[in-house]
Amino acid sequence: MKRLQNLADLQAAAAVTEAAASVQVPHGRLRVLVGMATCGIAAGASPVLDVFRSEVQARGLGNVQVLSTGCIGACRLEPMVEIRAADGSRVTYVKLDAAKAARIVQEHLVEGRVVDEYTIGKEDHRPQSDHIQQARSLEATSFFGRQFRIALRNCGLIDPESIGEYIARDGYAALGKALLKMTPVQVIDVIKQSGLRGRGGGGFPTGRKWEFAAAQSGPLKYVICNADEGDPGAFMDRSVLEGDPHSVLEAMAIAGYAIGAAQGFIYVRAEYPLAVQRLGLAIRQAREAGLLGDNILGSGYGFDVQLRLGAGAFVCGEEIALITSIEGQRGEPKPKPPFPAIKGLWQKPTVINNVETLANIPVILLKGAAWFTAIGTPKSPGTKVFAVGGKIGITGLVEIPMGTTLREIIYDICGGIPGGKRFKAAQTGGPSGGCIPAQHLDTPIDYESLTALGSMMGSGGLIVMDEDNCMVDIAKFFLDFTVDESCGKCPPCRIGTVRMHEILQRITAGEGREGDLEQLEELAGNIKLASLCGLGQTAPNPVLSTLRYFRDEYEAHIRDKRCPAASCRALVRYEIDPERCCSCGLCVQSCPVAAIHGSKGKPYLITRDYCIACGACAAKCPFTAIHKH
């Protein structure tokens, strides 16, 4: 794309480029979008894309445009392909492979006949979602139809490697408006009035953060995008970077203009190679188009962005640790104040926002603060992106208005718990969050509500658990993560979390003793109070929330030496039901430790002293005669 000299050039590019036309799907054409985010590629989308491209070219289908796109959303159904027509109709094909792709080319693209058995309605067979059976597009399902997409507005809709496609969707129009029609103070006022709060966990008002940095004197200031997404099960930021990287660059330039910064850094973990690749390409494209660099759109303002790759330390998601890492030091937190907006990168005023926060900025500037505050709740306006995983019908990304209940997300959008199992809890906020039990399914999701429940918003990971999950084991799992990821700088986090983890290990091993729960609570309180940074201060949350809502499970482990969920191997016992046992001998053959004995014609028995609770016998039994307790 040629260098854009002014706002008129930008508007002309959006109106006349081929990308603008392709996004609109001209009459008589078809647009084939193949999900090529990390989730799609891992599921086998690359051969699917290759087949569509080669077959369309070989057959001379000039009316068909084949493009790769970012995460479409329903990751469980990857590889996914959406075919869009000029009349607005859409067909979503799911769980594809190369052979299915070839058939779709012949029947759908050549003959004009939808291959029904590969559409979302036919592939997604779940009794509790009968309405999906009638849908041919993801848009028509409750999964996508009930969402409200702002941060994810372009993900799955555009080619993320084309700046033209981004511009065709109002890309960089907000930057042009800010630079040529607004003062920095006016930009900050709009963000303040919108009530946008940081989507990385703390929920601090974004406009106030910008205002603090803008008020500082001096020629050097910085803008940092925190893309160091490290929560287990979280992939919201990665999906935005892979599916819509220009939205982050545009927002950073707007932030730079608002606070008076000329340089930005994106701190992204090196384990996101596709995001790094597409960010690098987007930066080059923006520079070539004159949307980064000197004199952007003839405004006289200059701003540029550099990438910095993190080595994967969870603590570097904390803003001070992130800053020290960019400076070339070991990523460790420091006492605050001063806060980064006053003294940040190289002791200069610095604004740090995470990916999702930034992705909201261009839309707010274009549509206005009042539009944004009409979405969500008064104290938590706008939407929130969640990466939903665990025991759930459809895993993937959902973006919903703040105030939506957990029940709506789990049952109305994501299809409920598979296998008719009972919902037990949902973990929000990653390893720093807490577990929300079934009695709070109807609590509106916003910052204050989650904090009141003993959890937190976090960056947006949402792990769903059913009746088979042991909550003591879940707490141990998350604490195990924080123990490994502690930077080790302050003793409360470095030592205290290890002591808590040791107690949980004993409890799940059947060696818990009276007083353990009180000791856990005392340690948790001290760690929260005395730790230096947010990692340590929130590390006890999974333990405290599970103690709050599932204390009876802890007590069963300690007093009865029993795991109610039959999940902790040391406390699990397998028994053979003599009424159902047919003496086939398959369990004997599968047992690796010869713990099963008996004779033909009589029910077999399991010797508990030898049994290692591996479950091989239960998996092999064709008569479901073996049960664990």
Domains with residue ranges and CATH for the chain: 14-141 (3.40.30.10), 171-372 (3.40.50.11540), 383-469 (3.10.20.600), 472-559 (1.20.1440.230), 573-628 (3.30.70.20)
For 565-593, how does the pLDDT look when each residue is reduced to its tens digit (9 = 90+)? 988 888 888 888 888 888 888 888 899 99
Element (H, E) at 9: helix 7-16
Q: Cα–Cα distance between 6 and 177 in angstroms, integer?
A: 11
Which two three-digit tokens encode residue 279? Answer: 């960010």
Q: Cα–Cα distance between 254 and 2 in angstroms, integer?
A: 22
Percent of the chain topping pLDDT 70: 95
Residues 353 and 319: beta-carbon distance below 8 Å:
no
Q: Cα–Cα distance between 570 and 130 in angstroms, integer?
A: 40
Query: Best-predicted range by mean pLDDT among 20-24, 129-133, 505-509?
Result: 505-509
Q: Cα–Cα distance between 566 and 573 in angstroms, integer?
A: 8
Residues 179 and 301: beta-carbon distance below 8 Å:
yes
Q: Which of 237-246, 521-530, 597-606 has the lowest mean pLDDT?
A: 597-606
For 12-58, how does the pLDDT look when each residue is reduced to its tens digit (9 = 90+)? 877 766 555 556 666 668 999 999 999 999 999 999 999 999 999 99
- What is the pLDDT averaged over residues 187-213? 94
Q: Which of 200-209, 281-290, 464-473, 500-509 has the lowest mean pLDDT?
A: 200-209
Provide the pLDDT confidence category of residue 151 given band limits of 50, 70 and 90. Answer: very high
Query: Which residue type is seen at 350?
Result: T
Q: Which of 112-126, 545-559, 608-622 has the lowest mean pLDDT?
A: 112-126
Q: Which residue has the tokens 């807490």?
A: 434
Name the residue among 548, 566, 391, 394 with its Cα closest to residue 475: 548
In angstroms, the Cα distances linking 155 to 17, 158, 224, 275, 578 are: 20, 7, 22, 13, 56
Residues 80 and 74: beta-carbon distance below 8 Å:
yes
